[in-house]
Amino acid sequence: MASKPSERFVWAVDTLAPDPTDRVLEVGCGHGVAVSLVCARLTSGRITAIDRSKKMIEMAGRRNREHVAAGRAVLKTVALEKADFGDERFDKVFAFNVAPFWLQPKEALRIVRRHLAPEGSVYVYWDARHTHPGGAHGLADRLSERIRLAEFSVDQVLVKDLRPVPAVCVIGRPRACLTNGSGFGWDRAGVSRFQLLSDAQWSLIAGMLPGPTGRKGRPFSDARLMIEAIIYRYRCGIAWRDLPEVFGPWQTVWTWHRRLASDGTWDAVLERMIAAADASGVLDWSISVDSTIARAHQHATNITRDTGGFIELQESGHRAA
């Protein structure tokens, strides 16, 4: 009989919370402990579990013989980068302590992205068995950064105090609706209309923006997604409430914008961009002055004048406050 599953797997599958009909993919399933726990929650759903080690898949197969026979679990000896999932799309993809998600997150998540269902999410778990600066929270920050590097937005970060070591989970989704190459969100060249910053552009300002709060039970928004939503809104000249759903609730984006305006972040970002452009010689400081004279009808001369003017929240902090 299989031994009692360790706490970390129980926690992981609790957070994964697969629906009975879900299609789940586990990458690097090892002994297949999580596979058994997931199968216990499935009815018509199915888990595909892969591991590049034949030995591991054999052990996982022994542990999950009944589930495999019932068609609830499919186990394959294959590395993620070589796997062929055909047309299969997964509602949830997870991996616990699997090196490519730390070492080559872009490559690993590019493959995951291709096989995620439209509303699908990836759950990357890591335990803090090695000491990390900042402990488990530091580990969570670094793991989140890797997930973002791979063009995923971070929906939630969980830190769990487990024995013998704490563990973290970062839950992400392909950024800005990059769920597949054909549907909503992509233009004909295969580039997302909603992904507005290159990695290089983002790296210039990322450090100036608010990071994760790490507060328990309060998922935070992904800063890059928020900034892209704000850029998108100005680029298109639309009302806040007309922001496409891929950016999440427009109220959250508006709140970010207001906060960045009133705490001076936008001013600081502008200063940094001007300094960077100046340093690389792409700015010339000539100013173009033009004037237009428009004759107003005499009726226009006696309306009430409000010299305060209308301000947009991207203006200086003291005006927006």
Ligand X SMILES: C[S@@+](CC[C@H](N)C(=O)[O-])C[C@H]1O[C@@H](n2cnc3c(N)ncnc32)[C@H](O)[C@@H]1O
Q: Which residues contact ligand X by CB under 6 A? A: 27-30, 50-53, 56, 79-81, 96-100
The 10 Å CB-count burial string (b at 16+, else e) for 195-215 is: bbeeeeebeebbeeeeebeee
Q: Which residue reads 């009909």 in tokens? A: 21
Cα 48 to chain centroid distance, Å, stands at 23
CB-nearer residue toward ligand X: 100 or 166? 100
Q: How far is the CB of 154 from ligand X (least distance, A)?
A: 21
Question: Minimum distance from CB of 76 to ligand X (Å)?
Answer: 9
C-beta of 18 vs 100, nearer to ligand X = 100
Token representation of residue 246: 């891929």
Smallest distance from the beta carbon of 96 to ligand X, in angstroms? Answer: 4
Closest separation in Å from C-beta 218 to ligand X: 27
- Give least dist CB 22 to ligand X, A: 19
Sheet holding 46-51, edge to edge: 73-77, 46-51, 23-27, 90-96, 116-127, 167-174, 152-160
Q: Which CB, 100 or 172, lies closer to ligand X?
A: 100
Q: Which residues neighbour 167 within 8 Å (Cβ) at sequence distance 6 or greater?
A: 8, 11, 12, 125, 126, 127, 128, 136, 159, 160
Residue number, 103 or 321, with CB nearest to ligand X? 103
Pick the closer one to ligand X by CB: 15 or 97.
97
In the complex, minimum distance from the CB of residue 127 to ligand X, in angstroms, rounded to a whole number: 8
Minimum distance from CB of 129 to ligand X (Å)? 10
Q: Which is nearer to ligand X, 81 or 278 (CB)?
A: 81
Measured from the CB atom, the residue of 132 and 272 that comes closer to ligand X is: 132
What is the maximum alpha-carbon separation in the chain? 94
Least gap, CB of 99 to ligand X (angstroms)? 5
29 vs 230 by CB, closer to ligand X: 29
Pairing of strands 73-77, 116-127: unpaired
Compute, in degrees rounded to 10, the torsion defined by CA atoms 175, 181, 186, 191: 80
Give the separation between CA 55 and CA 61, rounded to whole angstroms.
10
Q: Which is nearer to ligand X, 34 or 313 (CB)?
A: 34
Amino acid at 101: F
* Identity of residue 16: L
The residue assigned the tokens 């997302």 is 192
Distance CA 202, CA 70 (A): 48
**Taking the complex as a whole, how short is the minimal distance between the CB of residue 61 and ligand X, in angstroms?**
13
| DSSP-assigned letters across all residues of 48-114 | EEEES-HHHHHHHHHHTHHHHHTTSEEEEE--GGG---TT--EEEEEEES-THHHHSHHHHHHHHHH
Neighbours of 156 (CB within 10 A): 17
